[in-house]
Amino acid sequence: MRSQTLRTGAALLAAVVAIALFVAMFTVHQTQQALVLRFGAVRKVLTEPGLYFKVPLVENVHYVDKRVLDLDLPVQTVLTADRQNLEVDAFARYRIIDPLRFFQSVSNVQNANARLTSFVNSALRNVLAGATTTEIIRTRRGELMNHIQDSVNRQAHDLGIEIVDVRLTRVDLPAANSQAVFQRMQTERQREAADIRAHGQQEAQGIRARADREATVIVADANRQADQMRGQGDAEKNRILAQAFGRDPDFFAFYRSMQAYENGLRQNDTRMVLSPNSNFFRYFNDPSGRTPAGGGAPGPASTGSLGTSDASAR
């Protein structure tokens, strides 16, 4: 009976010891730092991972994150040095480097985020207020972000926090200003397009005028050459006719009379009034074309003092 009681007591004692050890042990992971608190006062700061012990019911452990934490900032309006309102969206990354100071100043991450948001917003306004819109957007953006980070770091050091990075994710004009800028850009592009069209029309008119002038010169030169060639042809024709007249004057006279008959005695009611003794009809009176002495007697083709010949008559 006594041995049974001893075994039961030993088992109970072992259970109590096991429970006490379980409650007294705690683990610090690689991503954590720990503060051991005794009645609210910090007794120990643990920055290395491992297995540790505490006094049960007397001490408790407060864990602090060792990783890089994100801080998303609300969009705020900033007035630049050139009096331009900009909507700035930014974020920050920070790390807790002094868990004791962090716990004493802000206690937890939520309070730290609130304090850091105030610090970053203040630094954004102060730094960006001394820069122009072009510098913020394009030329000095990296330099300005470094200035903001340094300014926030000086304030966050008292919280046991180190600012790793501050970035401007978006810098834009307010909605009303954006519309005005868009309209101004549209007007500018339309003006440039109108200038280009006007320049193109001017160039086209110049090209068209030069082409018309060249065409006029070409046509005039062609007409001149044609007139020269036509004159040369007429001269050659007259030379040939003169040679032919020199060789056989009777045939030439007969040929020219036939041409005169062809051109003068056309159809379409052509009428001619000639003297009966006219030399025009000498080949009608005599095939050889000889005219009788004294003007010649009237031929069979013309009788009376006046003869009328109809182009339709044979």
* pLDDT range class, residue 119, cuts 50, 70, 90: very high
pLDDT at 1: 63
pTM of whole model > 0.85? no
Closest among 180, 145, 182, 185 to 166, alpha carbons compared: 145
Say how far apart CA 43 and CA 37 lie, in whole Å: 6
Q: Which residues face 28 on adjacent strands?
A: 50
Residue 274 CA, chain-centre distance (Å), reads 88
C-alpha pair distances (Å), 160 with each of 70, 100, 105, 280: 16, 8, 8, 137
Please compute the mean of the pLDDT values over residues 113-121 and round it to a whole number.
92
Fold of the 69-172 domain: Tetrahydropterin Synthase; Chain A (3.30.479)
- Local structure of residue 131 (DSSP, 8 states): S
The answer to whether 13 touches 5, Cβ cutoff 8 Å, is no
- Over residues 158-189, the pLDDT tens digits come to 999 999 999 888 888 776 666 766 778 888 89
Structure tokens at 185: 């850009």
Predicted confidence (pLDDT) at residue 132 exceeds the cutoff of 80? yes
The answer to whether 66 touches 48, Cβ cutoff 8 Å, is no
Residue spans of the domains in the chain: they are 2-65, 69-172, 179-223, 259-310
| Cβ-based burial of 176 (10 A; exposed 0-12, middle 13-18, buried ≥19) | exposed
Say how far apart CA 272 and CA 204 lie, in whole Å: 60
The answer to whether 237 touches 279, Cβ cutoff 8 Å, is no
